[in-house]
Amino acid sequence: MDEIIKVVVEKTDISEELAKKVVVTVLNYLDDKLPSPIGGNLQGFLDNEQTIDTIENIAKGLGGFFNKTDK
């Protein structure tokens, strides 16, 4: 997550403190809106605390998310 905060600071010229608030707010929003198992795992993934199970769950969730069909 620190890397994303650094990018936000560089691209927007806002303070690191404000950039952190922005990144955390966006991550919380995405965690709430994305289907599980993706939602709720973004923070750990970005902090490099993910496990193989978390990565597999995210991949499965993305597969299901993109394979949805309208009937």
Residue 20 in any domain: the answer is yes
Give the pLDDT band (50/70/90) at residue 58: low
What band does 55 get if pLDDT is binned at 50, 70 and 90?
low
Tens of pLDDT, residues 1-52: 788 888 899 999 999 999 999 988 988 888 888 877 667 777 776 766 555 5
In angstroms, the CA 42 to CA 20 distance is 15
| Inside any domain, residue 47 | yes
Find the domain containing 18 and state its range: 2-65
DSSP per residue, 10-60 = HHH---HHHHHHHHHHHHHHHHHHSPTTTTT-HHHHHTT---HHHHHHHHH
* Number of domains, the chain: 1
Q: Is residue 71, in this structure, part of any structural domain at all?
A: no
The H-or-E segment that residue 64 falls in is helix 52-66
Residue 52 resides in a domain: yes
- Residues 43 and 39: their CA atoms lie apart, in Å, by 9
